[in-house]
Amino acid sequence: IWNKHQVKKFEDKEGFEGRFIGHVETTLARSLYNCDDLAAYESTSLSVRDNLIIDWNNTQQRITARDPKRVYYLSLEFLMGRALDNALINSQAGSDEPTSRPMVEKSLDELGFNLEDVLKKEPDAALGNGGLGRLAACFIDSMATQNIPAWGYGLRYEYGIFAQKIIDGYQVETPDYWLNFGNPWEIERNEIQVPVTFYGYVDRSDGESTTLSPSDWIGGERVLAVAYDFPVPGYKTSTVNNLRLWKAKPTTEFDFAKFNSGDYKNSVDAQQRAESITACLYPNDNFNQGKELRLKQQYFWCAASLHDIIRRFKKTSRPWSELPDQVAIQLNDTHPTLAVVELQRVLVDLEKLDWHKAWSIVTATFSYANHTVMQEALEKWPIGLFGHLLPRHLEIIYDINWFFLQEVEKKFPKDFDLLSRVSIIEECSPERQVRMAYLAIVGSHKVNGVAELHSELIKKTIFKDFVKVYGSQKFTNVTNGITPRRWLKQANPKLAELIGKALNDPKQNFLLDMPKLTELAKKADDPEFQKAWDLVKANNKLQLADLIKDTNNGVDIIDREHIKDTLFDIQVKRIHEYKRQQMNIFGVIYRYLAMKKMLKEGSTIEEVAKKYPRKASIFGGKSAPGYYMAKLIIKLINSVAEIVNDDAEIVDLLKVVFIPDYNVSKAEIIIPASDLSEHISTAGTEASGTSNMKFVMNGGLIIGTVDGANVEITREIGEDNIFLFGNLSEHVEELRYNHQYKKTELPPELAQVLKSIESGVFSPENPNEFKPLIDSIKSHGDYYLVSDDFESYVATQELVDEVYHTQKNDWIKKSILSVANIGFFSSDRCIEEYSETIWNVEPVKPET
């Protein structure tokens, strides 16, 4: 009977329409007469999801049958953005179509809907802060595309990263309740509930057990982890992988006892405590706050995920020693490091393995990726807080540390300094702390950085002593990448089409093999091709002008008549002092003052335009809610925008825009519209950056420092095609020293800018408003070296203007050559590197 009723995928227009109407009428209980765009979005999603689930089932069955080694990607953040357009592009319904998207578009049109409008109804799944979360999203796309048996594990936050409003120039955070209308992409697995324990104590009343032998942890609080699954479709393959996110819910037994005894208040409290675990994403990017609830989130997620992984492993009845042959667990930064300790606990306490046998299994299973060298971002937990929440885990950490330090002592006898430097426990006042990065290193067989410069830097700075202890083979590099499906095809369909034509690849197979783009170089000088290339860019700029208009109460800021000769200069990323949005806006102020000065000294507007041609300086990004300086930078940008945009004297030569609520779906509009983007972090601070790759893949040029992946981008696309400036990372230490101990002069360009800010040009009602920004440079040591890089920044910007406005063909040529050589930065290449050098896993291809 089962076979007779096999559920089939829809494969053509008829099939889709049947599904669509079925979902409207039965799942949503509506009719075509009251089906609005939102309902059309839901029905389309449910229909496409049906297909994905069939492929998902087949993928999972295939993997169970072949039983290969699997990858588990543990990330506290998955910044997925929207799912529908991506699913339409990736899934292959409609046999002869390159994708099912055109077919669905046509169907919807006939049903009276516009696909673009329908797509916009989907809220972003914004379960991440920035780079690290989006990297996880790109990686699971590439793993599915390459048929790697891989699952992602994370948390199903009810509230993603806050929505940003700008009120009177200030950032205001509002909650992002993304599940308001339900979520057609998630499959609630109520049958998969994992109990997770917190608090309590370790029972040694038997008088025999030591911390190294099986121990009894008597937990104090128990919650349940419920699984929610999200299908992850690969491109041009029927592989559909899984992203499993956990939601916390209260156990029933627990409440019921209290409830029955009349203790209503406490029973409700416990309920709310449980639900609060997965309520919110912490909105910090590169900053560790050390809050108990955050540690609770981490353990909840690690315990549930490991339990799930182990359950699956146990079904194969293999001996524990084979776990590392079957399972690779990747730690996305230190956030999941508790999984290392939890696996050791399961093996020793529950499975009764010998400590050392267990530990060699653990370290062969895990690998750790580092994403930052900044001290304030490194996770450390006070042992008081830690031991209260996870008493048994703290014991295990002490024992891990004990054996590790013995090993160190054996290699470097009597080097007590070294021992204290590498200890997983930091001795510091007022309290000792667990250093999570050190625990992750000791618990893994490989540690990687995310760009060459960064991977070298961690070996020389924060992890130097560990290179001494383990040798350098344990430390490696995997340069980040991005998925070209979302960041080229989905964000910039017209460019993908043009490239497909140029490569004689109308079905766009290059999206699976990005190094093929090198063939584009042949067209770089072709005037016809240049014209087509430029037209795509101009159209993308018009679309961004629409978005800017929408977010500016319907008032146009960008002059559409001059779209082609207005240089769109964009910096969109989290607001952070190290990323130096302040330097960018200072540069804008410098330009504005220079233009005003020319006019004052009698130049005509034409003469001004010659020196300072049309430019739109566009910003976007969120500040962590508690990050005062970052919020002040946002306010400064908005204050400058207000003055500059309203200044009739400079006509429309300079515009400043802050786009509120930068997120993945806005990035898909913003990035394809850039002529120039800014990646100008203080050298040595940005681990990689990934938007730099996205901008170049969309034909934008870069102004940037010699930092993160900018270095390798330069190597790939050629130094003629990127505008680099500024001091190198090897000089940062000395420059900082000079600021602290020697008298350093401000460069005149910067002095002038700071003076105008101080005089209240941009805050007439409160001239002191931006004083902290100025003081950080003038009085507090200019930690991010704005004053050291400002002159070369301004000079490089002038070079940019010259090339863009007087050698436009050369500019377009640079743009084409850049895209031709950006193939290396496909996340497909990253996943291959991880698979071969760290995970030791192979693809499981579907039968065709």
Give the active site residues.
371, 573-574, 579, 690, 694
Our finding on whether 688 is near ligand 26M (CB under 6 A) is yes
Phi, psi of 572 (to 5 degrees): -125, 120
> Taking CB under 6 A as the rule, which mask of x and - marks residues 273-292 in contact with ligand 26M?
---------x-xxx-xx---
Per-position b or e across 83-100, b if 16+ CB within 10 A of its CB: bbbbbbbbbbbbeeebbb
Interface with ligand 26M in residues 709-768 (CB under 6 A) = none
- Report the helix count and the strand count for the chain, using DSSP H and E: 33, 24
- The least CB distance from residue 420 to ligand 26M, in Å, is 25
500 vs 708 by CB, closer to ligand 26M: 708
- The least CB distance from residue 434 to ligand 26M, in Å, is 14
**Separation of alpha carbons 380 and 266, rounded Å:** 32
- The least CB distance from residue 331 to ligand 26M, in Å, is 13
Strand partners, 455: none
Interface with ligand 26M in residues 19-48 (CB under 6 A) = none
**Separation of alpha carbons 77 and 278, rounded Å:** 12
The helix, strand and coil proportions of the chain, stated in percent and rounded to the nearest 5, come to 55, 15, 30
Yes or no: say if 44 and 122 are a contact pair by the CB < 8 Å rule: no
Of 128-136, 148-156, 261-269, 641-649, which segment contacts ligand 26M by CB under 6 A?
A: 128-136
Burial class (CB in 10 A: 0-12, 13-18, 19+), 817: buried
Given 183, 330, 540, 690, the residue binding ligand 26M (CB under 6 A):
690
Residue 446: strand, helix, or coil: strand
**Separation of alpha carbons 772 and 778, rounded Å:** 10
Q: How many residues bind ligand 26M (CB under 6 A)?
A: 24
Contacts 24+ apart (CB under 8 A), 737-740: 739/781, 739/782, 739/783, 739/785, 739/787, 740/781
47 vs 286 by CB, closer to ligand 26M: 286
Q: Which residue is nearest to ligand 26M (CB)?
A: 131
**Separation of alpha carbons 450 and 134, rounded Å:** 14
- The least CB distance from residue 574 to ligand 26M, in Å, is 7
Our finding on whether 129 is near ligand 26M (CB under 6 A) is yes
451 vs 634 by CB, closer to ligand 26M: 451
Interface with ligand 26M in residues 131-150 (CB under 6 A) = 131-132, 135
Residue 768: strand, helix, or coil: coil
Our finding on whether 572 is near ligand 26M (CB under 6 A) is no
Burial class (CB in 10 A: 0-12, 13-18, 19+), 611: middle
Strand partners, 369: 332, 448
Give CA torsion, residues 694, 695, 698, 703, to 10 deg.
-150
Given 708, 721, 834, 839, the residue binding ligand 26M (CB under 6 A):
708
- The least CB distance from residue 297 to ligand 26M, in Å, is 9
Our finding on whether 154 is near ligand 26M (CB under 6 A) is no
- The least CB distance from residue 334 to ligand 26M, in Å, is 8
Residue with structure tokens 């007022």?
430
Our finding on whether 252 is near ligand 26M (CB under 6 A) is no
91 vs 334 by CB, closer to ligand 26M: 334
Which contiguous run of DSSP H or E holds residue 319?
A: none
- The least CB distance from residue 513 to ligand 26M, in Å, is 24
Interface with ligand 26M in residues 287-346 (CB under 6 A) = 288-289, 294
- The least CB distance from residue 655 to ligand 26M, in Å, is 29
192 vs 687 by CB, closer to ligand 26M: 687
Yes or no: say if 174 and 163 are a contact pair by the CB < 8 Å rule: yes
Tokens of 691: 């938007």
381 vs 590 by CB, closer to ligand 26M: 381
Of 546-554, 613-621, 683-691, 721-729, which segment contacts ligand 26M by CB under 6 A?
A: 683-691
Short-list 722, 811, 142, CA closest to 487: 142
131 vs 620 by CB, closer to ligand 26M: 131
Tokens of 238: 């029927």
> Taking CB under 6 A as the rule, which mask of x and - marks residues 82-121 in contact with ligand 26M?
----------------------------------------
Helices 13-22 + 101-110 axis angle, to 10: 60
Given 100, 480, 677, 826, the residue binding ligand 26M (CB under 6 A):
480
> Taking CB under 6 A as the rule, which mask of x and - marks residues 365-404 in contact with ligand 26M?
------xx----x-x-------------------------
Phi, psi of 316 (to 5 degrees): -85, -5
Burial class (CB in 10 A: 0-12, 13-18, 19+), 720: exposed
Strand partners, 329: 72, 366
> Taking CB under 6 A as the rule, which mask of x and - marks residues 439-478 in contact with ligand 26M?
-----------x----------------------------
- The least CB distance from residue 294 to ligand 26M, in Å, is 5
How big is the chain, counted in residues? 848
Report the interface residues with ligand 26M, using CB under 6 A. 129-132, 135, 282, 284-286, 288-289, 294, 371-372, 377, 379, 450, 480, 686-690, 708
